[in-house]
Structure 1
């Protein structure tokens, strides 16, 4: 497991295994968010199995699938209130962690300036400078 902390409220990770869920709970996370659609790749764990493990380990589970390479404004509009209202800290995962980071960045642009959003993502290992125009657009919308 490769958990990357963005800030005190959210961390992201590449695909997790069902067996990882107990450790995620042990580390103190309260909500587990899956941003990866089922059947995106052969052999990936079923989200229903991860959801079951989350429930068994006292984690809230949110399934918010987003198509790889196609994070829409609608996806961000669903992610923003979910992450704001979620029990924290949150651990979100997808195939590589990038989708989760993009969702976080675009929704956080509504409250943080561009430099802070890019910096937090970069410290977590995700270079999202190329999203600057879209981050600015999100900030201007809200």
Structure 2
């Protein structure tokens, strides 16, 4: 399992399996977020099986599927309040972890400076510098 810590509140991972959920709970995660659509590709675990495993191990489960390469503002609008309200730490997963890190970054840009966001994602192995214009847009349209 390739869990990549962004900060103390969130880590991201590539696709997980139901048999890994016990270890995820043992590691202290409280909320499991699926950002990958069910049946996105043949052979991936069913979301219902992952949800059952999450609940069995005491994790909150959030299914927030996002199309790869097509994260809409509406997706960020759904992710931001979910993340704010989720019991931490959160583990979010998709096919590679990239969608999760992008959702986190875009929602974080609404309330945090951009440089630490880019830096934290980079330390987790996700180069989001190409998203700077979109991060700036999120920051400017969601200022208090």
TM range (shorter): over 0.9
**Does residue 1:121 correspond to 2:101, yes or no?**
no
- Cross-structure match for 2:133: 133
Give, in whole Å, the separation in 2 of the partners of 1:138 and 1:131: 11
**Does residue 1:38 correspond to 2:52, yes or no?**
no
- Cross-structure match for 2:16: 16
Structure 2 unpaired stretches of 5+:
none
Q: Deviations over 1:102-132 (max 9, x none)?
A: 0000000011111111001000000000000
- TM-score normalised to structure 1 length: 0.99
Q: Deviations over 1:3-47 (max 9, x none)?
A: 000000000000001111000000000000000000101000000
Give, in whole Å, the separation in 2 of the partners of 1:117 and 1:27: 24
The correspondence of residues 1-142 of structure 1 with structure 2, limited to 5 A, is: 1-142=1-142
How many pairs are equivalent?
142
CA RMSD of superposed structures (Å): 0.4
- TM-score normalised to structure 2 length: 0.98
Stretches of 4+ aligned residues off by more than 4 angstroms: none
Structure 1 unpaired stretches of 5+:
none
